[in-house]
Structure 1
Amino acid sequence: MPAHPSTSAIRVLTGSYTPDSGGEGPGIAALLLDPATGRTTYDDQVRPLPVSGASFLAAHPSLDVVYSTNEAETGTVSAVARDGDGTLSPLGDPVSSGGANPCHLTVHPGGEWLLTANYGSDTAPGSVAVHRLAADGRLLEPTDLVVHQGSGPVTGRQEGSHAHQVLPDPAGRFVLVTDLGADAVFTYRLSTVTGTLERVAVNPVRAGSGPRHLAFAPGGDLVFSADELSSTVTCHRYDATDGTLTALSSAPATTAADVVNQPGGIVASPCGRFVWVTNRGADTVAAFRLDGTTLEPLGEVPAGGSWPRGLALTGGHLLVANQHSGTLAALRVLDDGTLGAPHPPLSAPSVVCALPL
Structure 2
Amino acid sequence: MEQQRLLVFVGSYAEAEESGVYVYAFDEESGTLTMTDSIAGLKNPTFLNVDADRRLLYAIAETVNQSGQKVGEAAAFAIDAISGSIQLLNREITVDSTTCHIQRDENSEFLTVTSYHGGMIGLFSIAEDGAIGQKLDVIQHEGKSQHPERQDRPHPHSSFYSPDEQFMLVADLGLDRIVTYKLDHDAKKLIHQSQVALHPGAGPRHLTFHPNGGFVFVINEVDSTITSFTYEKETGRLTTLATVSTLPAGFEGENSCAEITVSADGKYLYGSNRGHDSLVVFAIDERSGLLTLLQHISVEGGHPRHFALTPNGRYLLAANRDSDNIVTFEVDQNSGKLQFTGKSVTLAKPVCVVPVYLTT
**Normalised by the size of structure 2, how large is the TM-score?**
0.90
1:87 counterpart residue number? 85
2:19 counterpart residue number? 26
Counterparts of 2:345 and 2:52, CA distance in 1: 28
Q: Quickly say closer, same or farther: Cα 1:280–1:324, change in 2 above 3 A.
A: same
Alignment counterpart, residue 327 of structure 2, candidates 313, 326, 329? 329
Indicate conservation of the 8 Å contact 1:223/1:237, yes or no: yes
2:308 counterpart residue number? 312
Indicate conservation of the 8 Å contact 1:61/1:111, yes or no: no
What SS does the aligned partner of 1:74 have? strand
- The correspondence of residues 44-59 of structure 1 with structure 2, limited to 5 A, is 46-59=37-50
How many residue pairs get aligned? The number is 341
Unaligned runs of 5+ in 1: 1-6
1:127 counterpart residue number? 120
1:271 counterpart residue number? 265
Q: Which moved more, 1:95-104 or 1:346-355?
A: 95-104
Unaligned runs of 5+ in 2: 64-69
Indicate conservation of the 8 Å contact 2:124/2:136, yes or no: yes
- Residue 281 of structure 1 aligns with an amino acid whose one-letter code is G
Deviation per residue, 1:35-88 (Å, 9 max, x gap): 222222212xx3434432111100136311111111463111111111343321
What SS does the aligned partner of 1:135 have? coil
Indicate conservation of the 8 Å contact 1:261/1:280, yes or no: yes
- The correspondence of residues 153-172 of structure 1 with structure 2, limited to 5 A, is 153-172=146-165
Counterparts of 2:15 and 2:318, CA distance in 1: 22
Q: Quickly say closer, same or farther: Cα 1:349–1:280, change in 2 above 3 A.
A: same
Counterparts of 2:4 and 2:183, CA distance in 1: 38
Percent of aligned pairs sharing the same letter: 28
Q: Which moved more, 1:143-152 or 1:70-79?
A: 70-79
**Normalised by the size of structure 1, how large is the TM-score?**
0.91
Task: Please report how far the alpha carbon of residue 167 of structure 1 lies from its aligned counterpart in structure 2 after TM superposition.
Answer: 0.4
Counterparts of 1:169 and 1:339, CA distance in 2: 28
- The correspondence of residues 1-357 of structure 1 with structure 2, limited to 5 A, is 10-20=6-16, 26-43=19-36, 46-60=37-51, 62-71=53-62, 73-84=70-81, 85-92=83-90, 94-120=91-117, 124=118, 126-255=119-248, 257-291=251-285, 292-314=288-310, 315=312, 316-334=314-332, 335-357=334-356
Counterparts of 2:212 and 2:160, CA distance in 1: 16
Indicate conservation of the 8 Å contact 1:62/1:111, yes or no: no
Q: Which moved more, 1:175-184 or 1:248-257?
A: 248-257
- Residue 276 of structure 1 aligns with an amino acid whose one-letter code is Y
Task: Please report how far the alpha carbon of residue 20 of structure 1 lies from its aligned counterpart in structure 2 after TM superposition.
Answer: 4.8
Task: Please report how far the alpha carbon of residue 204 of structure 1 lies from its aligned counterpart in structure 2 after TM superposition.
Answer: 1.1
Indicate conservation of the 8 Å contact 2:49/2:57, yes or no: yes
Q: Which moved more, 1:155-164 or 1:193-202?
A: 193-202
Counterparts of 1:49 and 1:216, CA distance in 2: 33
- Residue 269 of structure 1 aligns with an amino acid whose one-letter code is S
Structure showing the higher strand proportion among its residues: 2
Indicate conservation of the 8 Å contact 1:264/1:277, yes or no: yes
